[in-house]
Structure 1
Amino acid sequence: MAHKFKELQIWKRSRLLCSKIYEVTSKFPDSEKFGLTNQLRRASVSIPSNIAERSSRKSKKDFSRFLQISIGSAYEIETQLLISHDLKFISEDELQPFLSELNEIIKMISKFKSTLN
Structure 2
Amino acid sequence: MKKESFKSHEDLVVFQLAFNTAMKIFELSQKFPVEEKYSLTDQLRRSSRSVCANLAEAWRKRRYKAAFIAKLSDCEAEAAETQVWIKFAVKCSYINIEQGRELYKTYNQVLKGLVNMINNPNQWIIGE
Of 57, 60, 66, the match for 1:56:
60
Query: Which 5+ residue runs of structure 1 have no aligned equivalent?
Result: none
- Give the letter aligned to residue 11 of structure 1: F
Is the contact made by 1:61 and 1:116 (CA closer than 8 Å) also made in structure 2? Answer: no
Query: Highest Rg: 1 or 2?
Result: 2
RMSD: 1.7
Q: Partner of 2:114 in structure 1?
A: 109
CA distance in 2, matches of 1:56, 1:10: 16
- Aligned to 2:120, what secondary structure does the other structure show? helix
Work out the percentage of aligned pairs sharing the same amino acid.
Answer: 25
Q: State the alpha-carbon separation in 2 of the partners of residues 7 and 85 from structure 1.
A: 31
TM-score by length of 2: 0.86
1:65 and 1:3 map into 2 onto residues whose CA distance is 21
Q: Deviations over 1:25-81 (max 9, x none)?
A: 101001101010000010011001111122111201101111111111111111111
Normalising to structure 1: TM-score of the pair? 0.93
CA shift for structure 1 position 90: 1.1
Unpaired segments of 5 or more residues in structure 2? Answer: 123-128
What is the CA–CA distance in structure 1 between the aligned matches of 2:85 and 2:55, rounded to whole Å?
Answer: 21
Q: How many correspondences in the alignment? A: 117
Q: 4+ residue runs of structure 1 moved beyond 4 angstroms?
A: none
**In 1: Cα distance, 2:100 partner to 2:18 partner:** 16
